[in-house]
Every structure is written in C-alpha cells, then in structure tokens.
Amino acid sequence: MINFSEIQNIYFILPLVGFIIGLFGTMVGGGGGFFFLPVLTLLLAVPAQTAVITSLVATLPICMVGSWGHYRKNHIHFRVAALFMLTGIIGAFIGAGIANSISDFALKAAFGSYSILIALHMVFNAGKNNSEGFSKKIRISQKNLKTLTGSFFGMAAGLITGTFGTSGSAPVLAGLFSTKIPLKMVIGTSLLVVLVNTIFAAGAHFIVGKIDLTLVAFLTAGSTIGALIGPHLLAKIQVDKSENKAKYAYALIMAVIGVLMILGRN
C-alpha cells in the first residue's frame, strides 16, 4: 500500500540526513539502510512496520547508484557476490514474513540486539587479522571463498533485510571481510549484494506493507547525491593501512545504534 504522509517541519532536514547516509553508505558498503530505520523510528516516530518498507524503498537509489559507481571503479567481485545473493534472496522472503507477524516493540528490540551482536563479531574478526591478511589481488582462491561461511552470512543478510528493512549490510560485510579480499572490493561487492536483497525484500513487503512515499522523496533527494559522490571519494582514499580501524569504527556505530533502539523501543 502506498501512503503520502502530511509534510512536517522536521522533514526538511531529511535531505541532509539522506545525503550523509548515502555518502557514508556507499563508502562503507552498507547502502545506508542500516541507518534509515533508526532515523524513521527514533527521530520521526514512524511505526516499525511502515519504517521497514519505507527504509527498503529509500535504500534502493543509493544501492543502484553506488553499485554502478563501484562497478566502474572495478570494486565488485561478482563470484563472491553471487554466493551471498543466492542464499540472501531466500532469507529476504523469510524475513518479510517475520516482520509482518511481530509487534513494533519486538521488532525494535530485535534490531537493537542484532546490531550489538554483529558489532561484537566484527570487532572479534578484526582482532584476528592484521593488514597482511588482506590480499591485494582481485582473484581469490576457493579456500578463501569459504562457501559455507558465505552462504551463512548471505542467508543472514537476506533475513535481516526482509525483517528490519536495513539492507542487511552488517552480516554481508562481516562475511566479506572473512574472504580476505581488499577493503574497497568488500565495499563494492557488499553494495551489489545489498541491492539484490533489497529489491526482493521490497517486493515481498509491498503486498502487505505501507510505503510512505513522502518520507522516501525527502530522504532520497539527498541520498542519491551522496551515493554519486561516495564511490569517487573512496577511490581517492588510501585505506590499505587503516582497514582494521575502519572495521572498529563501523562496529562502534552499529553498537551505539543498537543500544539506542533497545532503550528507545517504547
């Protein structure tokens, strides 16, 4: 169901919020969906189920523009992406069913808990690897591909996408980091996986969910511009010596958002 909410004064800051999310999302491989849900539920008090589908639709332009930008920079590893997407699509449909069968209270609490757990996993994974653990080659061996690990994180990503409308970037990134491909390729590949998962999750939600196109318009007005700039900015940044720092920073942000969602779930 499509809905147009009444424009409020606070909506006029959403293009700026969207720009920051679009820029940041395409630079870390998350697509920004992880941040849309907290913004919609905590800042605008949008009902969780409506926030989920609205977040998914608002994420699509970022993922499309960002994926194309990273493709042009040769930052996408398609063989790895395919592994994550195959199981991610299945998870997306399962997640959509879960989201529409639980309460707002449970949805927010579950999202907060999930955020904290993924953050802890990323910190643990970063601690096990040093900068020499990442290959600088585009090709990776079948051993490093870790099919079972990729399938697990792909399914988890799709499940998170369908349930929370957050694009499932956290498990995608966690799984891609374990493949030991370069950070820029992790980011580009993640965006492509997120794009496919989001398309299928949005389709599943569209039948039973309510999309607030007013919020989508305000958010994407800025996020699309940010998504255009992100890949070009990332290509100019030297990240080889600061990959672990980037992981720790991203994990910290996820943990903080998780705590806020749990504390603000009422």
Q: What is the pLDDT of residues 195-240, one digit of tens each?
A: 888 888 887 777 666 677 888 888 888 888 888 887 777 777 665 5
- Over the stretch 83-129, which tens digit does the pLDDT of each residue have? 888 888 888 888 888 877 777 778 778 877 877 887 787 777 665 55
In whole angstroms, how far apart are CA 137 and each of 47, 77, 141, 195, 232? 45, 11, 10, 25, 21
Q: Using DSSP, state whether 122 is helix, strand or coil.
A: helix
Picking from 158, 151, 198, the residue whose alpha carbon sits closest to that of residue 178 is: 151
User: pTM of this prediction?
Assistant: 0.69
Calculate ∠ Cα 246-194-159, nearest 5°. Answer: 105
Q: pLDDT band at residue 141, thresholds of 50, 70 and 90? A: very low
Give the pLDDT mean for 61-70.
83
Could you tell me if 265 and 140 are in contact, meaning their C-beta atoms sit under 8 angstroms apart?
no
Average pLDDT for 35-43: 80
Closest to 58 (Cα-Cα) out of 37, 82, 72, 38? 37
pLDDT digits (tens, 9 = 90+) for 239-258: 555 556 666 777 787 788 77
176 pLDDT more than 70: yes
Residue 4 has pLDDT above 60, yes or no: yes
Distance, C-alpha 22 to centroid of its chain: 11
Q: Domain coordinates of the chain in residue numbers? A: 2-103+131-237
